[in-house]
Amino acid sequence: MVMDALAQFKEMQEEAFYSMEGLSRLNPEKLDFYIDYIKFQVGHGFYDPDANLNILKLYQFSPELYSRSCVGNVHMVLVKALMQLPNSDYVLCRAQLSQDMIDDPLTKKIDEVARLLETCQFPEFWNVIQEEKIFSTTVGFVEAVRNFVCVVLKLTYKNVEKDFLMQLLGPMTDQATFEDLAKKNSWVVTGDTVFVGEKEEMVEQKEIVEKMPIDVVTPILAIR
């Protein structure tokens, strides 16, 4: 069953690629295809940034295609983009929204979730996403955010308290998920502390010495 989904995705990916060549990406008749495509991505955990952004572009160039009932498509695009953190996909999508789309209550909610993630307020984040179904129905959302948390942890921590770490990673169904995560990120768990990685070289005293390229100095070296 999994192979079928992948094969189907690849087929849709290719169709999307060819239909977005040059100006044909603005062809409004293809909108339904892109919408089916993103529904497929949401349901099976795949991602095609170009095609998803193109949905927003079509709404921007042909506003008659957009109505309140279509806002769900916009939400799907935004949530899929959020899963790509720390990459900038969400900002790219956000810059293409119209005021109508922004005013929708769920869009505002998604924006709030984005803010929590960008300011790394993870414990609050796990609470807030319980309030909306879209986060649980998007396949792979929770895993993607956990990956983002691990990336930020790696940047920041040498040793972190296990309690706090569990708060950051959010509710997990069983111990095995945590152990897999620990293995993947090469963490070392000792009692209530988790060792994330060596960080000493980050805080070495660095002195930046001035470098003068030779062509800047030659004018004054030239002797009459």
| Interacting residue ranges for other proteins, rule: CB under 8 A | 22-23, 26, 49, 53, 57, 60-63, 86, 88, 91-92, 94-99, 102, 111, 114-115, 118-123, 152-153, 155-161, 164, 167, 193, 199, 202-210, 212, 216-217, 219-220
Minimum gap (Å) between residue 33 Cβ and other proteins: 19
Pick between residue 5 and residue 195 the one whose CB is nearest to other proteins.
195
Query: Crossing angle of helices 49-61/31-44, nearest 10°?
Result: 140
Pick between residue 5 and residue 167 the one whose CB is nearest to other proteins.
167
Pick between residue 29 and residue 174 the one whose CB is nearest to other proteins.
29
Minimum gap (Å) between residue 44 Cβ and other proteins: 23
Pick between residue 108 and residue 184 the one whose CB is nearest to other proteins.
108
Q: How far apart are CA 12 and CA 51, in angstroms?
A: 10
**b or e along 107-126 (b: 16 or more beta carbons within 10 Å of the residue's beta carbon)?**
bebbbebbebbeeeebeebb
Minimum gap (Å) between residue 3 Cβ and other proteins: 31
Minimum gap (Å) between residue 222 Cβ and other proteins: 10
Pick between residue 5 and residue 182 the one whose CB is nearest to other proteins.
182
Pick between residue 84 and residue 139 the one whose CB is nearest to other proteins.
84
Which positions ≥6 away from 57 have C-beta within 8 Å?
A: 25, 26, 96
Q: How far apart are CA 218 and CA 224, in angstroms?
A: 12
| DSSP element (H, E) containing 64 | none
Q: How far apart are CA 168 and CA 177, in angstroms?
A: 14
| DSSP element (H, E) containing 39 | helix 31-44
Minimum gap (Å) between residue 88 Cβ and other proteins: 4
Q: Using only C-alpha atoms, what is the Rg of the chain?
A: 23
Minimum gap (Å) between residue 29 Cβ and other proteins: 14
Q: In 3D, which of 105, 117, 132 has the Cα closest to residue 81?
A: 117
- The residue type found at 140 is G
